[in-house]
């Protein structure tokens, strides 16, 4: 019982100060309790360690932290609305075609619908519609095919409300490949149209 009484008389502040053994012994001897035999250094160290652990536990219990706030996985980039970056990232400026065709796919129409809505919201832009082809045909054929693809895109955007005077077309044929390769999955990237934004005063 005497050991428990003396331990209760000590404060947590004392055990967190890492006092030397001589000071520990001196404090034990000054507590107003019946005289007891001299306490060994090993016992003192064990008692000090026990109280230090208890004090640390109380200290940690008093610390309240807010759970970390995780960003949503579907959060988009923080881009200025109406900027070129906004158009490229959040709308999409590329559409793709099947081999030797200028017919718009359903996927391409979804992208063009988004482009038309964006252009209606930001009327200060004109657009340049650039048509491309892969390298499987002659240079003349690919240039013509690129033009047909650009014109098909312009016609569809016009149907969605984009004014004709805001659009111009250009063909590059097969002269600007995304990748130069023979694999069909790779050459498909070259069969494309890109809608490029122009500031109205610069067009």
| 43 SS3 class | helix
pLDDT tens-digit map of 45-66: 665 556 555 554 555 444 433 3
Is the model's pTM score more than 0.75?
Answer: no
In the chain, the domains with their CATH numbers are 2-61 (no CATH), 84-199 (3.30.1330.60)
* CA–CA distance, 182 with 187 (Å, rounded to integer): 7
At 137 the pLDDT is 83
Whole-angstrom Cα distance, residue 174 to residue 197?
Answer: 22
The H helix count followed by the E strand count for the chain is 8, 4
Q: What is the 3-state composition of the chain as percent helix, strand, coil, each rounded to the nearest 5?
A: 50, 15, 40
Higher pLDDT, residue 108 or 72? 108
Determine the distance from the C-alpha atom of residue 57 to the mean position of all C-alpha atoms in its chain, rounded to a whole number.
Answer: 38
Q: Can you tell me the mean pLDDT for 2-14? A: 45
Give φ, ψ of 149 to 5 degrees. -65, -40
pLDDT by residue (tens digit) across 172-189? Answer: 998 987 766 666 667 788
3-state DSSP call for residue 155?
helix
């Amino acid at each position: 019982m005497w050991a428990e009484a003396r331990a209760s008389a000590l404060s947590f502040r004392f055990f967190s100060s890492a006092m030397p053994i001589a000071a520990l012994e001196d404090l034990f001897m000054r507590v107003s309790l019946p005289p007891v035999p001299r306490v060994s250094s090993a016992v003192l160290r064990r008692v000090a360690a026990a109280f230090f652990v208890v004090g640390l536990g109380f200290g940690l219990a008093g610390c309240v932290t807010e759970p970390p706030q995780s960003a949503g996985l579907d959060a988009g980039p923080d881009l200025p609305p109406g900027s070129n970056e906004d158009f490229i990232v959040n709308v999409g400026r590329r559409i793709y075609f099947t081999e030797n065709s200028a017919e718009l796919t359903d996927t391409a129409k979804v992208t063009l619908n988004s482009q038309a809505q964006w252009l209606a919201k930001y009327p200060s832009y004109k657009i340049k519609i650039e048509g491309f082809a892969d390298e499987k045909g002659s240079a003349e054929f690919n240039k013509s095919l690129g033009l047909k693809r650009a014109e098909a895109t312009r016609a569809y955007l016009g149907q969605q409300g984009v004014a004709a005077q805001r659009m111009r077309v250009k063909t590059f044929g097969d002269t600007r490949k995304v990748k130069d390769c023979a694999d069909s999955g790779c050459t498909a990237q070259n069969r494309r149209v890109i809608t490029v934004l122009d500031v109205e005063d610069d067009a």
